[in-house]
Amino acid sequence: MKRISILGAVVGVALAVTLSASAATPVPFPSPTVKQVFVAGQTVTTDGSLSSWFTPGSTVVFRAYAIDPKSHKVVDPKTVKYFYVSIPGQPNVKLKYGATAPGASTGLPWSGTWSVPSSFVGPVNFKMLIQVKGGDGKQLKGQFQQMPSATAALTISPTAPTIYTPGASSGDAGVGTGAVNASLYVDTVNGSGPIGIGKRPVGCSLTNVYKRGEQVVVRVWGADLSTSDVLSNDNVDNAHFSVAGVPDTTLNYGAHGTLYFWANAFNVPATYPLGATTIHVVFNLLSGKTASYDYTINIIP
């Protein structure tokens, strides 16, 4: 197995990356769902603006996509028995299929809305749960849970910072008619090293809308669908992301608190064109296979 020693610096809460071949056995994210149905989800506003912070009384849109590791394809809505969000103390939020629904997208076409009660305050430990009929006729289950980061996990607060809008489409997010080699989850948080612009009130919180000079931190985890193994230095030759007008950036696999995932950052240039731009994430596996994911952010004045 190929091992890589990395000493990288990624700005953000718990984003100082240090990894060596002698490190203790990694505790990778995600959790329990890789071997059956891989699920990736986001929390956004009705216009698709990614956020981890909402106020009481607001509307949270949960959006998601899922892949059957047996077929290596995005799940067919006809095979889905159920797909919903479980929120402690709240009614389940049913996810419906439709890329044109408020907050949904081509890449994450399953969505459902939660009207936050006016009295609800605090972290929201939600789970997305799915059951589908696999190609072999067996019932397969999967779930999604957010990374346990205090700033990037869904939180309801009366003092939540203003959400940057308008949002951006998620891109294809691995969706297609053919098989894929790996299931990938990609998101972005605001970094703590902006250039020529002030820091946000809450650093390292989820967002897909940025201003020039702000730092975009890209976070990734996933699984090799041929083996169900989490993507790590044991099965990945190299990984990077590409953004128009920005040099390709290596994704480093390392410890973020007690978790291991892939991450790195770039600053939006001061003269970068306004509007949507794509972050093209590529993983080259040691098996010779390649996996990619197109993630979209929006640059605003």
- Residue 174: the pLDDT is 53
Phi and psi dihedrals of 142, rounded to 5?
A: -155, 165
- Residue 175: the pLDDT is 56
What's the predicted TM-score (pTM) here? 0.89
Domain membership flag for residue 14: yes
What six digits make up the tokens of 257? 């608190």
* Contacts for 198 with CB less than 8 Å, ≥ 6 apart: none
Domain membership flag for residue 235: yes
- Residue 76: the pLDDT is 86
| Whether 292 contacts 240, CB under 8 Å | no
Domain membership flag for residue 1: no
- Residue 148: the pLDDT is 86
| Whether 181 contacts 225, CB under 8 Å | yes
* Domain count along the chain: 1
Instruction: Give kind and range of the element (H or E) at residue 190.
Output: strand 182-190
Residue ranges of the chain whose pLDDT lies below 50: 1-24, 32-33
- Residue 23: the pLDDT is 38
Domain membership flag for residue 45: yes
Identify the domain containing residue 276 by its residue range: 6-300
Phi and psi dihedrals of 77, rounded to 5?
A: -55, -30
- Residue 31: the pLDDT is 52
Domain membership flag for residue 198: yes
- Residue 165: the pLDDT is 96
Q: How far apart are CA 1 and CA 60, in angstroms?
A: 43
Domain membership flag for residue 11: yes
Q: How far is CA 264 from CA 77, 94, 251, 273, in A?
A: 34, 34, 5, 22
Domain membership flag for residue 109: yes
Domain membership flag for residue 213: yes
